Amino acid sequence: MESSFTIARIRGIPIGVHYTWAFAVLLITWSLAAGYFPASYPGWSRPMYFLVGATAAVLLFVSVLLHELCHSVVAQARGLKVHSITLFIFGGVSNIAQESEDPQDEFLIAVVGPVSSLALAGMFWLAGLALPNDLSPTSALLTYLAMVNLMLAIFNILPGFPLDGGRVLRAILWGVTGSVVRGTTIASVVGQVVAFLFIGYGFLQILQIFDGGFLNGLWIAFIGWFLNSAAESTRRQVQMQEGFKGVKVGAVMTPDPPFVGPALTVRELVDEYILRRGLRAMPVALDGRIVGLVSLTDVQKLPEAEWSGNSVGAIMTKEPLRSVGPDTPVTKALEMLVELDVNQVLVVDTDGSLLGILSRGDVMRFLQLRSELHMRR
């Protein structure tokens, strides 16, 4: 996730914090210190309310992190690579490199999240019972954490894809139908229904038809919008992957791309190749050997006033360059593009000779043309 920074590594997994996380912590702290704790536990000092509120907000996200860690650990145990875990305004997300290839893996990875939250709720509740004073700040903190983890477990088990419950539903449908596309389609539609219910309930609170207030209603509606967007995006992604089933890179790539030399100025590159020929990426060769790859993205990083004074060799992506073979499945190449966060890779033959370039644009253009031709395969 962009605009996040790494704060730790657990089991080799980078733990990141998105800038929106700070807004969530401040909002939760203020809400607890000004509303929930004074109403439920009167008599504390004002600084104590804010201290307990801030502690509760931070421990809430620690609980979310543990929830996501459980997803990631099970994913690693099932042979899937986990890139990172990021905490943000809506909670947390595990960035798993690829989708599960088996419904059983999908089920186990998804269901462990709500189970972990339920276990945390039980632990905090039992710890609270061990305290003699049920009105103390510590007791109040434990009671809140038990309650909020129980709510997280209930919320995440809702069949609203891509919530954990929606993924559990997809795994079950996938196993029953034998089709990940059909399972995803049904689960995402159910998820969108749940999302629209959230949006509708949120607007009813905004209009004060139901108790909750403007801010609470706005927050619920925003969560619904987020769930709807995520469900739609996931369905399109899975359908796109299914559309490329059996398609090799050689059928999609741009073949025989022109070479440019490292001494070419950026201005000449823009005028002759990008603007005149419409090329977005070109291999860079010196004495018949590929030494780099230059793209529109590389040019965009340089101010126009400096184009004439800089060469292609100064801005190109240098070796080692990522490449795929012409017989590589397009779905695997797409995973590489996403994992490396690049727009194109070189396509090379077994002897190392360049055959073409595969870009995200090539992939989308191929899919669009095949859709316009109403081709199923």
Q: How confident is the model over 208-230, as pLDDT tens digits?
A: 766 656 777 787 888 888 888 88
Among the three residues 176, 210, 243, which one is the final residue of a domain in this structure?
243
Among residues 68, 106, 268, 304, which one is catalytic? 68
Q: What percent of the chain has pLDDT over 90?
A: 38
Lowest-confidence pick of 111-125, 155-169, 241-255 = 241-255
Torsion sign across C-alpha atoms 162, 165, 167, 173: negative
Tell me: do 258 and 213 sit in the same domain: no
Q: How confident is the model over 320-356, as pLDDT tens digits?
A: 778 889 998 887 888 788 777 778 888 988 877 888 8
Lowest-confidence pick of 67-71, 237-241, 271-275, 358-362 = 237-241
pLDDT at 205 over 90: no
Average pLDDT over residues 251-279: 90
Tell me: do 335 and 224 sit in the same domain: no
Tell me: do 94 and 163 sit in the same domain: yes
Looking at per-residue pLDDT, the higher value among 243 and 87 belongs to 87
Closest CA to 281 of 270, 291, 293, 271: 293
Which pLDDT score is estimated for 185?
Answer: 86
Tell me: do 139 and 257 sit in the same domain: no
Give me the CATH number covering residue 285: 3.10.580.10
pLDDT at 161 over 80: no
Strand order in the sheet with 354-359: 254-255, 354-359, 344-348, 323-324
Residue 358: strand pairing partners:
345
pLDDT at 102 over 70: yes
Q: Domain for residue 158, yes or no?
A: yes
Tell me: do 127 and 265 sit in the same domain: no
Question: How many domains in the chain?
Answer: 2
Tell me: do 208 and 258 sit in the same domain: no
pLDDT at 1 over 60: no
Among the three residues 181, 212, 243, which one is the final residue of a domain in this structure?
243
Tell me: do 312 and 329 sit in the same domain: yes
Which pLDDT score is estimated for 336?
Answer: 80
Tell me: do 143 and 267 sit in the same domain: no
Q: How confident is the model over 168-187, as pLDDT tens digits?
A: 999 999 999 988 888 888 88
When pLDDT is cut at 50, 70 and 90, the band that residue 108 belongs to is very high
Report the alpha-carbon distance of residue 329 to residue 339 in Å, rounded.
Answer: 16
Q: Domain for residue 377, yes or no?
A: no
Tell me: do 15 and 163 sit in the same domain: yes
Q: Hey, which bits of the chain come out as E strands?
A: 4-10, 13-18, 82-88, 91-96, 254-255, 281-286, 289-295, 317-318, 323-324, 344-348, 354-359
Looking at per-residue pLDDT, the higher value among 161 and 267 belongs to 267
Q: How confident is the model over 18-67, as pLDDT tens digits?
A: 888 888 899 899 989 988 899 999 999 999 999 999 999 999 999 999 99
Among the three residues 243, 275, 299, which one is the final residue of a domain in this structure?
243
Tell me: do 10 and 40 sit in the same domain: yes
Q: Domain for residue 348, yes or no?
A: yes
Q: Domain for residue 300, yes or no?
A: yes
pLDDT at 361 over 90: no
Give the chain's length.
Answer: 377
Average pLDDT over residues 253-276: 91
Q: Domain for residue 175, yes or no?
A: yes
268: annotated active-site residue: no
How far, in Å, are 115, 217, 259, 286, 289 from residue 223 at the CA level? 22, 10, 48, 53, 52
pLDDT at 359 over 90: no
Check: CB of residue 325 under 8 Å from CB of residue 350: yes
Q: What percent of the chain has pLDDT over 70?
A: 95
pLDDT at 3 over 70: no
Tell me: do 106 and 167 sit in the same domain: yes
Average pLDDT over residues 139-165: 91
Q: Domain for residue 309, yes or no?
A: yes
Domain containing 324: what range?
249-372
When pLDDT is cut at 50, 70 and 90, the band that residue 162 belongs to is confident
Looking at per-residue pLDDT, the higher value among 330 and 373 belongs to 330
Mean pLDDT, the chain, rounded, equals 87
Q: Domain for residue 126, yes or no?
A: yes
- The structure's pTM equals 0.71
Report the alpha-carbon distance of residue 239 to residue 181 in Å, rounded.
Answer: 6
When pLDDT is cut at 50, 70 and 90, the band that residue 272 belongs to is very high
pLDDT at 112 over 90: yes
Tell me: do 133 and 66 sit in the same domain: yes
Q: Domain for residue 311, yes or no?
A: yes
Looking at per-residue pLDDT, the higher value among 99 and 327 belongs to 327
Which pLDDT score is estimated for 345?
Answer: 86
Strands 317-318 and 13-18: unpaired
When pLDDT is cut at 50, 70 and 90, the band that residue 376 belongs to is low
Which pLDDT score is estimated for 77?
Answer: 92
